[in-house]
Amino acid sequence: MNRTPISLASPLTSIADVGPKRVEKLSRMGIHSILDLLYYFPFRYEDRRSGAKIAHLAPETSRGFIARVRSIRKRSLRNLRVPLIEADLEDETGTVRAVWFGQEYLLKTLPENASAFFFGKAEVSSFDGRLSVRSPVVERIDPEKKGQKSFHINRIVPVYHEAEGLGSTFFRKTIGTVLATLWGTDFDPVPRSVLEPLGLPTWFLSLVEIHFPKDLNGSGDTQSLLETDYPPRKRFIFEEFFFLEFLMGHKKREVQCTPRSTPYQIARDARRRFLESLPFLPTKAQERAFEEVQNDLETPQPMNRLLMGDVGSGKTLVAAWGIYLATSSGFQAAFMAPTEILAQQHFRTLGSLLGPHGIRTALLTHAIKGSERRALMEDSYMGNIELVIGTHALIQEALSFKRLGFIVVDEQHKFGVEQRKILIGKGETPDVLVMTATPIPRSLALSYFGDLDISILDEKPPGRRPVETRLLASTEEGDFWDTEIRPSVDRGEQVYVVYPVIDSSAVKELKDATTMWGALSQKWPDIAVGLLTGRMTSDEKEEMMNRVEAGLVKVLVATTVIEVGVDVPNATVMVVENAERFGLAQLHQLRGRVGRGDLPGRFFLIPGNGVSGEGIDRLRVLTRSDDGFRIAEEDLRTRGPGEFLGTRQSGLPPFKVADLVRDAPLLEEARRSSHAFLEMASEGGSEKTWEWTTLMNFIRNRFPDVAEWLLVR
């Protein structure tokens, strides 16, 4: 088959030995292009350089050596289903036996007197005490070919994750072939003006060295090639951070260049009238957020702000202030929450905060049906409703607004890019406030939310006491329910008991909510024990929460469906079983559900059997701190950024080699460099235009979803 020369834009089928079937396998691995293939980095390396002599082979050590085959044979052993292939190898210093299982082709490809390179671990035979090498990698050497090259031997060899039946041998040969074809290219997606001051290597050289290193980075250990200070790896860590920071900065500038459709008309005494209607005084942090939101609304560009605050810090009041300013200026507002329980909670809270100002509010969830739903839709369209609070139901096509100008998205990580886009599209350049009760570490917030302005509520309203937190040993659980939980119920308090799964069919070694609801109901037949899970219908959930809030249910067994939005002042105790299965930030959120009334709260963590000492130490963080930001930092360090970001990262470049915690200095450098490049690019010039175009085209080719993400505020 005639093949065209390979370029970065070539299809995978342009590579030798890559046909349609292998293209399908690669696609299932997320490798769709030449670029994707080149960025499929090895996860470890083997030092297969030759140099050892047979006499110097040591037991339990992997070495590479060149030897001649003195003899080779097949043996059938009674206890083995496959034949054993044995070869006696020799060089000028001695002999060693090589053993393979079932590889009969070696009898033809490795005949007597053939010279070959071998790599494997030497071990002492338990049968005769001789030194042998079990299943060594072998590649025959042609004496007539001087300077013979190979992707698999006589070098530091990359090892790739195997999937779809494609292993390291395939990836070494395929990636090596592509790199050889591209040899000499001076292409680099990162602008030269960014790379040169940092002394980082060029793109192609870094690709070659990260796949096929020449040396061990000044060390005798292949592990050094996986460290941040290995120049090619450092370059790609920086590149990942740079792409992210560049996209964030670019998107923020695009939003800032979007003119507001209609300016706000904010009365001079708006703040005074709003504060006078409150039954309490805002905290200084809330006052600061009030100022930031108002300043945004008075600018010529629409607001795009993230409001972060710990559990109970009062984010809803800040949202109410923004809604008050919007409706006072003749706009409508929409407030989207991830669950019906949370939407109902916000409906009650915002109704009490905004009701004194005559702001008409409606609740829209999937539970609202029939004529009530049709009337709500009509009132929203006509502008008779000024605030619609709801779940994903807000983004349905049937809901439209007369003049939507202010949007609040609560627990933003629960929503995808497309969902936010639909809601924003229902207005004309609306102001957007996204909120999260999961405190996000500064490094993560600046990186993944760099396109947003950030407000932080770092203090709680007066009177909120810390929740007492205890970590129980498994041996303490026996008497715990009778000595700690039952007395709380007898005093008239309410209790939550949380489990990681709904039933035993999910993960059998875990306790589950359904089984334990039955067990507790049987243990305490005189107590009303309720069950709340995500599998229940909307009506069932609402009915159960109404019973809990009315005090009819004393013990509520639940999954993390109660993580946010549940506000029952009489609930004072929470027990979390198999606590090791939850993230620290998630446990901190759960802890915020108790102690919300006049009585102090207590929070009990019960780990499962066999949890490691490291797992126990991780949970112990909660017993020492109620600072959500400190807890979030620890969660980021131990579990990574996934749970903080949720669907937020959809379309954003993923991290393959970078680590937000470990590589924080490079992240800061990438942020400075990207901002400087954006400033230079905005000044124009042919070179900057070319660098900009190259960078944007590369990002679009590497991450096709980025173009979609860039269109969404």
Q: How many CA atoms lie within 13 A of 467 on its CB side?
A: 30
Mean pLDDT score, 84-97: 94
- What would the pLDDT profile of 21-45 be if each residue is shown by its tens digit? 999 999 999 999 999 999 999 999 9
**254 or 442, which is more confident?**
254
| Mean pLDDT of the 458-479 span | 81
Q: Report which of 362, 356, 388 is spatially closest to residue 274, judged by C-alpha positions.
A: 356
Q: How far apart are CA 653 and CA 696, in angstroms?
A: 13
- DSSP alpha helix (H) spans, 57-125: 106-109
For residues 399 and 379, the answer to whether their CB atoms sit within 8 Å is no
pLDDT at 153 over 90: no
> What is the rounded distance in angstroms from the CA atom of residue 48 to the CA atom of residue 541?
61
Kindly report the CA angle at 468 between 466 and 470, in degrees rounded to 5?
Answer: 145
Residues listed for the chain:
713
Q: How many CB atoms lie within 10 A of CB 710?
A: 17
Q: CA 691, 696, 702: angle at the middle one, nearest 5?
A: 125
pLDDT, tens only, 170-214:
999 999 999 999 998 999 999 988 999 999 999 999 999 999 999
Average pLDDT over residues 647-675: 81
Is residue 68 within a helix (H) or strand (E), and if so which, with residue range?
strand 62-75
Residue 529 contacts residue 604 (beta carbons within 8 Å) = no
Q: Does the pLDDT value for residue 331 go beyond 60?
A: yes
Q: Give me the percent of the chain exceeding a pLDDT of 70.
A: 92
How far apart CA 117 and CA 188 sit, in angstroms, is 36
Q: What is residue 461's three-state secondary structure? A: coil
Lowest mean pLDDT among 94-98, 353-357, 644-648: 644-648
User: Would you place residue 3 in the very low, low, confident or very high pLDDT band (cuts 50, 70, 90)?
Assistant: very low
Whether the pLDDT of residue 652 is over 70: the answer is: no
Q: Which of 91, 208, 231 is nearest to 151 (CA)?
A: 208
Give the pLDDT mean for 669-695. 82
Separation in Å, CA 140 to CA 46, 66, 115, 531: 19, 9, 6, 67
What pLDDT, on the 0 to 100 scale, is given for residue 629?
Answer: 81
User: Cα 533 to the chain's mean position, in Å?
Assistant: 24
d(CA 174, CA 245): 32
pLDDT of residue 72: 95
Residue 296 has pLDDT above 50, yes or no: yes
- The fraction of the chain above a pLDDT of 90, given in percent, is 55
Q: At what angle do helices 686-702 and 664-682 cross, to 10 degrees?
A: 130
Tell me which of 127 and 399 has the higher pLDDT: 399
Backbone phi, then psi, for 246, in 5-degree steps? -65, -45
Helices 628-639 + 584-591 axis angle, to 10: 150
Burial profile 664-675: b = 16 or more Cβ within 10 angstroms, e = fewer: eebbebbbebbe
d(CA 402, CA 419): 20
Which residue type, as a one-letter code, is found at position 350? L
DSSP bridge partners of 156: 47
Q: What is the pLDDT of residue 78?
A: 74
What's the token pair of residue 521? Answer: 């109901």
- Cβ neighbours for 317, distance < 8 A, ≥ 6 positions apart: 278, 282, 286, 353
What is the Cα–Cα distance from 157 to 211, expressed in whole angstroms?
Answer: 8
- 389-438 residue pLDDT tens: 999 889 887 899 999 999 999 976 667 667 888 898 999 899 999 998 77
What is the model's pLDDT at position 1?
38
pTM for this prediction: 0.76
Give the dihedral of Cα atoms 381, 384, 387, 388; nearest 10 deg. Answer: -50
Instruction: Please tell me the least confidently modeled range out of 62-76, 336-350, 439-453, 640-654.
Output: 640-654
> DSSP 3-state assignment of 176?
helix
Question: Domains (ranges, CATH) in the chain?
Answer: 49-154 (2.40.50.140), 270-457 (3.40.50.300), 468-625 (3.40.50.300)
Residue scoring higher pLDDT (68 or 562) = 68
Would you report the helix, strand and coil content of the chain in percent, each value rounded to 5? 40, 20, 40
Tell me, what DSSP letter sits at residue 247? H
Q: Is the pLDDT of residue 552 over 90?
A: yes
What distance in Å separates the CA atoms of residue 525 and residue 2, rounded to the nearest whole number? 79
End-to-end CA distance of the chain: 48
- pLDDT of amino acid 79: 76
Of residues 284, 235, 643, the one with CA closest to residue 439? 643
The phi and psi torsions of 179 (rounded to 5 degrees) equal -60, -40
Residue 551 has pLDDT above 90, yes or no: yes
Six token digits for residue 710: 């860039």
431 membership: H or E segment, kind and range: strand 431-436
> Torsions phi, psi of 512, nearest 5?
-125, 160
Is residue 650 over pLDDT 60? no
Within 10 angstroms of residue 398's Cβ, the number of other Cβ atoms is 10
Distance CA 497, CA 550 (A): 18
Q: What are phi and psi of 582, to 5 degrees?
A: -110, 150
Checking if the pLDDT of 566 tops 80, the result is no
Whole-angstrom CA distances from 679 to 257, 461, 669 are 14, 41, 15
pLDDT at 633: 80
